[in-house]
Structures are given as C-alpha cells and as structure tokens.
C-alpha cells in the first residue's frame, strides 16, 4: 500500500474531489492543510507553484483532475468502457472549465462579489441545463453505476452554493444526484468527520 500525502489549503476547493475518492476507498492519507500565511514561503518549493499536490511514496504529483482520475481508476470509479469514459471525462471537463474561469481574485472585495454573482448568473444556466439533460432520469451520470463525475458534481455544486445558496436548487435530477452521492456510506461518514470550513 503506497503512502499518500495530500497538500492543499484549509478548505474544500480543488482538493475535495480527491478527498471524496480517498474516503470512498477508505484509503489512509495525510490531509495536510496549510494556512494562507504559510503559502508565500512554501510556493517556490512546489513544482508548478500551485496546490493541490499529492505525494505518492514521496514523489510529488500535481493537477487535481489528473490526480483524481488516477485515484478514481484505482478505486473503480471510472467508466466501464472507453465511450463511458468519454462521457464522464467530458462532464468533468465541463465542470472544471466553469470553475477555472471563476473570478476568484480581485483586490476590491465589493467588485469581486459583484463579478462572482454575475459570473454565476450568466454562465451557469447553460451548463446546468446541459448537465440536467445529460443526467436525465438515470441514477448516475454513467447510468447504473457511480463514477467520479457524480462525486465532482457534488463537490463542485457545494462549492458554488457557498456563493449562491440557490445554485442548481431548481434542478430536481441534479439535486437527487447530490443526495445519492452524499448517502454513500463512506461519503456520509467523510461529510460527518471532515473539518468544517466555509468553502
């Protein structure tokens, strides 16, 4: 069994999908959460200068989605066919495109809030309608089995709910999917015991 050390900030963000996959498999790992005040000193030592990183047996890997895909493969959370993986990966990329373009940094707090609200208001309807259609009345995005795309939907929408409490609330299939993910016993247990953070 390899040793795993995940390093990120003390919030859910881009590490939470990885934490879900570890939780699902009951995999032991070190969940290192650094403070923002520690980051300037640490950043130059981090390959590519961003978090999260995952150390596997002491070797550093970066990019949250690449890491999550690797772990999902090991956990049996990827598609059963190449075509299923094409659909799953496309959903992951659609969510990730949206989050990558989110206006996180803006020095003026008032302007930032306004930009974030506008981004969600203007950008999310097309994405959410497409996701609701992709899911349809299936149990999971892949059909009859759970994958990491379902996990990412849950962590992604949780993250955006912190900015807009009504995010995706009027989409019944997507809301039901969140409930299904959160009811998986290992995920329910993680939600119970994870550190409480605003984001």
d(CA 118, CA 3): 42
Which residues 6+ apart lie within 8 Å of 124 measured at CB? 98, 160, 167, 168
Strand partners, 59: 56
| Residue 13 touches ligand GSH, criterion: CB under 6 A | yes
Residue 104 known to be catalytic: yes
Cβ 45 to ligand GSH shortest distance, Å: 12
User: Which of 190, 193, 199 lies closest to 163 in space, CA to CA?
Assistant: 199
Cβ atoms of residues 173 and 136 within 8 Å: yes
| Residue 43 touches ligand GSH, criterion: CB under 6 A | yes
| Residue 170 touches ligand GSH, criterion: CB under 6 A | no
d(CA 8, CA 178): 24
Q: Which two tokens stand for residue 41?
A: 């000193």
Residue 14 known to be catalytic: yes
| Residue 65 touches ligand GSH, criterion: CB under 6 A | yes
Q: Applying CB under 6 A, what is the total number of residues that bind ligand GSH?
A: 9
Residue 61 known to be catalytic: no
Please, which residue, 65 or 135, has the CB nearer to ligand GSH? 65
Question: Which of 14, 19, 69, 178 touches ligand GSH by CB under 6 A?
Answer: 14
User: First and final CA of the chain: distance in angstroms?
Assistant: 31
Catalytic residue among 4, 14, 29, 153: 14
- Considering only the stretches 60-68, 132-140, 149-157, 176-184, report the one whose residues sit in contact with ligand GSH under the rule CB under 6 A: 60-68
Mark residues 118-137: x for contact with ligand GSH by CB under 6 A, - for none.
Answer: --------------------
Q: What one-character-per-residue DSSP string does 103-128 give?
A: ----SSHHHHHHHHHHHHHHHHHHHH
| Residue 50 touches ligand GSH, criterion: CB under 6 A | yes
Question: Which of 51, 54, 72, 187 touches ligand GSH by CB under 6 A?
Answer: 51
Can you give the length of the chain in residues?
Answer: 199
Residues with a catalytic annotation lie at 8, 14, 104
List residues near ligand GSH by CB under 6 A: 13-14, 43, 50-52, 63-65
């Amino acid at each position: 069994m390899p040793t795993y050390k995940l390093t990120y900030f003390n919030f859910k963000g881009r590490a939470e999908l990885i934490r879900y996959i570890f939780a699902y498999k009951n995999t032991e790992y070190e969940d290192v959460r650094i403070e923002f005040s520690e980051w300037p000193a640490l950043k130059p030592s981090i390959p590519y200068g961003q978090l999260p990183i995952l150390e596997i047996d002491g070797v550093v890997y970066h990019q949250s989605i690449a890491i999550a895909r690797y772990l999902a493969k090991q956990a049996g959370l990827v598609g059963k066919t190449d075509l299923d993986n094409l659909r799953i990966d496309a959903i992951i990329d659609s969510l990730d495109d949206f989050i990558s373009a989110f206006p996180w940094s803006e020095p003026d707090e008032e302007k930032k809030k306004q930009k974030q609200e506008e981004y969600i208001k203007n950008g999310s309807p097309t994405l959410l309608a497409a996701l609701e259609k992709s899911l349809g009345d299936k149990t999971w995005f892949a059909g009859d089995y759970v994958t990491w795309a379902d996990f990412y939907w849950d962590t992604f929408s949780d993250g955006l709910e912190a900015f807009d409490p009504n995010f995706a609330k009027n989409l019944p299939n997507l809301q039901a999917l969140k409930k299904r993910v959160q009811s998986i016993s290992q995920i329910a247990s993680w939600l119970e015991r994870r550190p409480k953070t605003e984001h």
